[in-house]
Amino acid sequence: MRREFCKIISNFRVANNVYKMVIESKSISKEALPGQFLHIKPSQNYDPLLRRPISICDLDQDKGGITLLYRVCGKGTRLFAEIKPGDNLDIIGPLGKGFPIFQNKKSAIIGGGIGIAPLLILSKWLKEADIYLGYKDETYMTDEFMNYSDDVCIYTESGSRGTKGYPIEALEKNINRYDIVYACGPKQMLRAIKRLCEKNLVECYLSMEERMGCGIGACLVCACESSNNDEYKKVCIDGPVFNSKEVNLDD
């Protein structure tokens, strides 16, 4: 983990309220692992006060490029969308615990909405995983996933592209093909994947999405309930990636 002022290489819209940003940091890119995140200061002043956690989407470790994918959903991310190439961002990272990599296991990667972000670099490292991507309507970053896998299945709720429906439906049909499942997306999707994998004795790793304050485990804003009901996990340092058996996702 380090703090750097990183140069913005590009920052542009890829879908409605979804942006792709590329920053430059050779030191952070060499340290970063799939599933980790950066904690980014939205402005040069103290409004807003808190940094924003953004998942690492892709890495170019030779050139020092770090790709980030984010959705504009509040003041901080609106400020991100206004950043121009050549500007600098105050960044702390890489932070958190990433995905374990198993090259000798048959793997499935499943993402929903902006939850696809940390799964692109994972698909690059795993090389031969089957990929299931789910969107509400408008799709994005699908070509990038196809660069890393020959088996990318796209689902939309509206049926505007790919198969109409949800990726969990396809995973349920094919679950016995896999030794391990990696997932990131809305909580209800992760809950269903956790139940499916544990029922079928398939190892499962979930990347959790929670609001964060400090990013280093001090403030407890991102605490989530563990499978031991007397304990809580800190998503920023114990995660954001957890074995599904570690966390309780029931409401």
The first and second tokens of residue 179, run together, are 């030794």
Dmax (CA) for the chain in angstroms is 52
Give me the pLDDT at residue 49, please: 81
Give the Å distances, CA to CA, from 161 to 65, 137, 204: 30, 8, 27
The pair of three-digit structure tokens given for residue 228, joined into one six-digit string: 């031991």
Task: Tell me what pLDDT residue 242 has.
Answer: 96
CB 42 within 8 A of CB 48: yes
Alpha helices in 41-186 (DSSP H): 75-81, 119-126, 142-146, 167-174
Contact 120, 141 (CB under 8 A): yes
**How do residues 8-60 score in pLDDT, each as one tens digit?**
999 999 999 999 999 999 999 999 999 999 999 988 877 788 899 999 999 99
- Which helix (H) or strand (E) covers residue 24, if one does? strand 18-24
Tell me how crowded residue 236 is: count the other CB atoms within 10 A of its CB.
Answer: 27
pTM, two decimals, is 0.94
pLDDT at 106: 96
> For the chain, which residues score pLDDT lower than 70?
none
pLDDT, residue 219, reads 83
Provide the pLDDT for residue 66.
98
CA atoms of 76 and 98, how far apart (whole Å)? 24
Task: Tell me if residue 115 falls in helix, strand or coil.
Answer: helix
Distance of CA 181 to the CA centre of its chain: 14
Query: Cβ(28)–Cβ(34) under 8 Å?
Result: no
Structural domains in the chain, CATH included, are 2-95 (2.40.30.10), 107-246 (3.40.50.80)
pLDDT at 89 (0 to 100): 96
